Amino acid sequence: DLAEDSPGISPYCLCQIYLSVFFVLFLQDGSKQRQARKKTVSFSSMPSDRKMNSTAACMAFMMEGCEMKKVRSNSRMYSRYFLLDPDMRWLRWEPSKKDSEKAKLEIKSIKEVRLGKKTPVLRSNGLSDQFPDECAFSIIYGDNYESLDLVASTADVVSTWVMGLRYLVSYGRHMVGVVEPSQPSVRTSWIGSMFELADPERQGHIDLFRATQIIKGLNPGMRESRIELKFKELQKAKDCYGEGIDLDIFVEAYCELCTRPEIFFLLVQFSSNKEYLDSKDLMLFVDVEQGVEGVTEEMCREIVRKFEPSVEGRDNGYLSIDGFTHYLLSSECHIFDPQHKHVCQDMAQPLSHYYINSSHNASLLEDHYWGSSDLSSYVRALRMGCRSLEVVVWDGVDCEPVVYVHVINQYAFESSEYPLILCLVTHCSVPQQRVMAQHLKKILGDKLHIEPPNMEDHYLPSPEKLKGKILIKGKSLPSDSQDSEGEVTEEEEVTLCKSVQFRDFETSKREQKHWEICSFNEVDANRFANEFPEDFVSYNKRFLSRVYPTPMRIDASNMNPQDFWKCGCQIVAMNYQTPGLMMDLNLGWFRQNGNCGYVLRPAIMREEVSYFSANARDSLPGVSAQLLHIKVISGQNLPKPRGSAAKGDVVEPYIYVEIHGIPADCAEQRTKTVSQNGDNPIFDESFEFQINLPELAALRFVVLDDDYIGDEFIGQYTIPFECLLPGYRHVPLQSLTGEFLPNTTLFVHVAITNRRGGGKAHKRGLSVRKGRKAREYTSTKTTGIKVVDELFRASTQPLREATDLRENVVSEKTASNNNNAPILLCDIFAHMFTKHILEVHCMLSRNHNRCCFIGLSGLDFHEDLHRIGAREGLKGRKLQKAMESYAWNITVLKVCSFSLYSIMLFPLYLILHNSSRLLLTNEGKFTKCEN
């Protein structure tokens, strides 16, 4: 729209404008997802014995009929029983006050079948909140395009009726008879070709074993016993039990076993009146639902060529139910964003700005005291991405210390090229420590980092700068020392990770060098996290800290790494030999940056002046809270827990959906237990979580077998929030020890929205209009230091005016948007800079300058704030609170100032870069001057 109204604006400039407005308008909302309304489908209400895998099955269901509610124009609803006539020419309903001949609708008069609330009757205020969008549909009929508006009990009933009616409208009742019962023709021909390959002599039947293996090969996760049982059931029903499997039975068995109803109904939602997706249908699904950018028709044709099993489907560009299932199960529809499979974060920041994958006691296989030592444990940890390895050194025979440097040297950079930190724990004499130092230099050679730290620097070098280097963490021993106290890592110097004793945060701030590192017992670290959360975060902005398990964990159990990541602790040492929840979190977390062992910490934990408390229980300044919507749809091929003997082969699964992060984000919800068809259960349950610090949040699915003796673990998957992909996704499940379970998945739908609007269709993103009194204004906090508070108090009005401007412009543009359709950001931009350009720019300039001035003036107090506060009588907790409020205020002003500055630049940019190339036409529009 903007391009048409302003043809003089270059495409490049338009792109810049769109990106800028997106950034500014959503700076506080943080929405990463498209604002288009998501389609949702319910899958659990159809009787378990109904096989909705074809148009013919839909017709059969419609002929039996079902109860739905008919909606009148006066917003009243009446329950009626609707059914399709056996001749498929009329749709009837009963009971009715009308003559039975009038309570019917001729199929050939139907113009269109609309899914959802797409008519004025269904969108009326009196009804919009009484039923979900996916439970409604409308039949448009007659020359006057009247509507029959219906509401079903669940979405799968709607899907069945919509599929059947659309097919009848498009192809007529005669085409239905051509289709084989229970399957579409494209699918039938492909399944038949599979049968013919197994019957080269054309005998017309194959043995049970061969038939079972064919279906097993097409669906690797399916149990052979289940396939054989289905064949025997069908043979018995047709009174041919014990004979070979003929084509009809083979086709019917395949369709019943291999059609996932949840995927069939999903296909129905996007299919244009057919039982398959053409390239345009697929474009809509991939673009709107899966959130893939830049979707083209050729891209979708390639998906068909890659995943459609039938030759006919590939030749005609059709994706059948089998091809659609293969596509959804492929890596292209994995829940994990593939860009995070490679290093994708900035690796040029100081080492202290990263979380570092760390191992504790890797050489012990079982526990701290009785575990056996094994070199393979070092290799395993390094191959899993560990970048901080604890190495225990013992006295050996012939004055040779026992240390496994050779194997570490061999595997140090096999999985990651970024620096490896060796944390030496020496239990050997001083002479053998000196021998050990010589061995380290000799064996590691050029890999060993021995350059002394730069005294003029304030931070450690970056992982990028230290690529291929091994750093030694240990205590130095004075060269003239003759006793056995202390440790030595090299003959004369210690490098970038010198171990020092921690005393307190104030002493560290005064005396600790940036290359010195403190180790914390988890008990002490927990105490600091609870009593001094802000100090701990501030300390870790500059220094590396290592947290190790308490010696009381004699079973080598693991601490929760999130307890210390939230404080900014970079190195949280884990017992890699002990599987479970904590290792799941650790390994899942470090996948997000190519599993290189380094993950960039949240910006709010890195910036010199920023407010963050490790125990935050609410939203944070400058960080946009997100709403995560998860629908757990189904499970596939869930195995019986290993070693379990209860209930035979029966699995009764349920799922926990967990959020791990800062205290404000930690939550969990669970599904119901599915007692029947437990290895392929349908859950169809939706959950919602608010994520206040997305950069530090992780999502975990854990599947358990419900048992009266004790619930047993089936599988789990942990993924960082930043790696989630939206749309319909399959989740691969891992065993207790971390191996992926073959062909075992969960099928889920993921949507992420900003907190404003709550993800509701009628409160979607920018369409929320708030009154002035109801608006939430971000304000500064009182520090208790008079001169500082007077400065920050001057920012109150600019902050309020900035909020009002954004809300007023957005709500003015969306006020007339009665149908709640998504509003293009370019429309908002055009509206803002055509109707309000002078007002907006003047206000932006004024408030940006004021916020900038106040923020910069406030930074002048940073170095002396502690002294000024103490001079005014603040001490202890009051002084600490003043420091926290100061950091909060600086963060708020920084965010507001940057937001205003970004949007302020673009009208100026437009004028500077286009004024010499624009001409004003007689119609009052701009046009580009070609010369």
Amino acid at 549: P
Tokens of 266: 């999903």
Contact 611, 884 (CB under 8 A): yes
Q: Residue 517's pLDDT is what?
A: 94
Q: Residue 889's pLDDT is what?
A: 76
518 SS3 class: strand
Give the position of tokens 């054989």: 228
> 220 burial class (0-12, 13-18, 19+ CB within 10 angstroms)?
exposed
Cα separations (Å) of 350 from 82, 462, 466, 762? 68, 4, 10, 45
Q: Residue 365's pLDDT is what?
A: 44
DSSP H or E run through 388: strand 388-394
CB atoms within 10 A of CB 772: 10
Q: What is the 3-state secondary structure (H, E, C) of 889-926?
A: HHHHHHHHHHHHHHHHHHHHHHHHHHHHHEEECCCCCE
600 SS3 class: strand
Contact 896, 802 (CB under 8 A): yes
Q: Residue 629's pLDDT is what?
A: 92
DSSP H or E run through 139: strand 136-141
Q: What is the DSSP letter of 601?
A: P
d(CA 790, CA 780): 11
Q: Where are the beta strands (DSSP E) in 428-490?
A: 470-474
Residues contacting residue 481 through CB under 8 Å, at least 6 positions apart: 430
- Rounded mean pLDDT of the chain? 78
DSSP H or E run through 847: helix 837-859
Sorted by where each begins, the domain ranges of the chain are 55-172, 354-605, 626-754, 786-813+823-916
Q: Is the whole-model pTM more than 0.85? A: no
User: Whose CA is closest to 154, among 162, 146, 144?
Assistant: 162
d(CA 564, CA 536): 10
Is the domain covering 626-754 a CATH 2.60.40.150 domain? yes
d(CA 754, CA 628): 9
The residues pairing with 697 across neighbouring beta strands, listed in sequence order, are none
Contact 734, 740 (CB under 8 A): yes
Low-confidence ranges of the chain (pLDDT < 70): 1-54, 96-100, 125-128, 171-185, 273, 362-374, 476-493, 643-648, 755-779, 797, 799-860, 863, 894-931
Q: Residue 855's pLDDT is what?
A: 63
Contact 546, 516 (CB under 8 A): no
Domain 55-172: CATH architecture, name and number where available: Roll (2.30)
CATH (residue range 354-605): 3.20.20.190
Per DSSP, the residues of 235-288 read: HHHTT-TTS-EEHHHHHHHHHHHH--HHHHHHHHHH-SSSSSB-HHHHHHIIII
Q: Residue 541's pLDDT is what?
A: 92
Residues contacting residue 209 through CB under 8 Å, at least 6 positions apart: none
**How many contiguous H segments (helices) and E segments (strands) does the chain have?**
28, 28
